[in-house]
Amino acid sequence: MKLFKTLSALAVVRAQVPDFADLNALFASLTDNLAVGAPAGDAAPSAADGARYVVATQTTTPTTTTTTAPVTTTTVGPSGTGCWKCDQMNFLDCATSGSWTECSPDQTAGDYGVCFLELREQNQLLTQLCTGCKARNACYNLRRQNFVGSDQSQRLGRFHDQCKPEWKLQRGSRRYGVQQSVCRTCFNMCSQAEDHKCFGGLEAPGTANGQFFLYDQNMNTASSTGATKTYWYANAESAVTGTMNLGIPLGVFASDPVAVGQVNAMTNMVNFGGSYADTGKGKEDDLNRATASGAMGLYWAIQDQSKAWWSLDHAALQSIYQNGGNDATNLLARLQAVTEYASLSDLL
């Protein structure tokens, strides 16, 4: 069983869902290579910076969808009342200068809020990280702008997308210059009383309160396989392998040995979040890590991720994992609801 290969199988929520009877098909790889065409220009963000922070809602009425064969009812709803809020240029400042913020109701009937993430990169380096509360519909509308160019026209290609998360797309060229990437996604709200469900595991400011990890040199990413980092600039590689990162929480811990083994695997970009003082990598649950795996939350790394990953409904995936529990068997059982969550994108 390969726990985290499920992510790319859900890459585009409108796409067909594979046969989940085959676990290898269920957990398809996150790191499939994407074709890179000739550069055709840069794309500027379509949303003004002032649109980042908008009030979210705490409506307690969840949205429920039901399958008929087998009969299964699952709920997608807010898991908390707020979000970690920061607007900084690196992960450390986000942890030390940010704050947990309660999301205010937006009075929109039937709507509820999410946390949003905006990641800006240039030359493979993080230039701005913005996260906080946002009305659900507004967040999903912004997320839809990530790949307008390539989704609407194969001729335009990836270089017309706002979001160019793969580092091989951010390499400068003499003809088109430096390529900037602006990517956005949405995930569940969190509570200060729930451990490690906020961005970076942060419920209070300071490195002691966050869940950090270093990239493992051997981890597959969107632009690399194993230790072969052909497309990576040296300073970008140093930034993620030598400087602590933060990620989006799955909202679960890996207490089951099988689940631990799947996080340890280099074929996905899920990491153990631990102490800021750790010298071990995010793929290590014991070596040079100050905390046992059962107490370290699981986090998606967000740099050099793929178009497939940035197209996922991360709020829906979080709900699937959190409804399943912490062991591999329960997580697999909950994945029968994937088709329900995939269909929700058509309603947003």
Residues 280-320: pLDDT tens digits?
Answer: 999 999 888 998 888 899 999 999 999 989 998 899 888 87
Whose structure tokens read 């990890």? 213
Query: Which residues lie closer than 8 Å to 261 by C-beta, 6 or more apart?
Result: none
Local confidence band at 140 (pLDDT 50, 70, 90 cut-offs): very high
Say if residue 76's pLDDT is above 70.
Answer: no
d(CA 120, CA 237): 17
Whose structure tokens read 């060229």? 173
Q: Which range is least confidently modeled, 98-112, 138-152, 250-264?
A: 98-112
Considering its fold, how many domains does the chain have in total?
1
Whole-model pTM: value is: 0.74
Q: What integer pLDDT is reported at residue 160 of this predicted model? A: 82
Q: Which domain holds residue 248?
A: 78-347
Average confidence (pLDDT) over 326-333: 53
Most confident of 89-103, 107-121, 134-148: 89-103
Q: What integer pLDDT is reported at residue 47 of this predicted model? A: 40
Q: What integer pLDDT is reported at residue 337 of this predicted model? A: 42
Q: What integer pLDDT is reported at residue 165 of this predicted model? A: 94
Judged by phi (left if over 0) then psi (alpha if -120 to 50, else beta), residue 46 lies in alpha
Local confidence band at 183 (pLDDT 50, 70, 90 cut-offs): very high
Q: Which of 334, 340, 219, 237 is nearest to 283 (CA)?
A: 219
Say if residue 35's pLDDT is above 80.
Answer: no
Average confidence (pLDDT) over 67-96: 71
d(CA 57, CA 79): 12
Tell me what the pLDDT averaged over the chain comes to.
Answer: 75
Whose structure tokens read 């008929």? 68
d(CA 229, CA 224): 5
Token pair belonging to 235: 């300073």
Average confidence (pLDDT) over 82-107: 90
Domain-embedded: residue 124: yes
Domain-embedded: residue 322: yes
- In percent, how much of the chain has pLDDT > 70? 66
d(CA 189, CA 118): 15
Say if residue 22's pLDDT is above 90.
Answer: no
Local confidence band at 176 (pLDDT 50, 70, 90 cut-offs): low
Q: What integer pLDDT is reported at residue 252 of this predicted model? A: 87
Asked if residue 137 lies in contact with residue 116, where contact means CB atoms within 8 angstroms, the answer is: no
Average confidence (pLDDT) over 98-106: 84
- In percent, how much of the chain has pLDDT > 90? 45
What is the chain's length?
Answer: 348
Between 89 and 27, the more confident residue is 89
Say if residue 9's pLDDT is above 50.
Answer: no
Q: Which of 114, 137, 139, 151 is nearest to 11 (CA)?
A: 151
Q: Which of 149, 139, 167, 165 is nearest to 57 (CA)?
A: 139
d(CA 147, CA 180): 14
Q: Which range is least confidently modeled, 189-198, 208-217, 324-333?
A: 324-333
Token pair belonging to 199: 């961005």
Q: What integer pLDDT is reported at residue 322 of this predicted model? A: 81
Question: Is residue 259 classed as helix, strand or coil in its secondary structure?
Answer: helix
Between 26 and 56, the more confident residue is 56
Q: What integer pLDDT is reported at residue 181 of this predicted model? A: 94
Domain-embedded: residue 340: yes
Query: Which residues lie closer than 8 Å to 132 by C-beta, 6 or more apart?
Result: 52, 53, 83, 84, 85, 86, 87, 101, 115, 116
Instruction: Write the CA distances from 264 to 4, 142, 220, 260, 282, integer angstroms.
Output: 10, 33, 12, 6, 8
Domain-embedded: residue 311: yes
Q: Which range is least confidently modeled, 31-35, 221-225, 254-258?
A: 31-35
Burial 262-293 (b: 16+ CB within 10 A, else e): bbbbbbbbbbbbbbbebebbbbbbeeebebeb
d(CA 33, CA 36): 9
Say if residue 93's pLDDT is above 80.
Answer: yes
Say if residue 175's pLDDT is above 90.
Answer: no
Most confident of 50-64, 206-220, 259-273, 334-348: 206-220
Between 274 and 29, the more confident residue is 274
Say if residue 32's pLDDT is above 50.
Answer: no
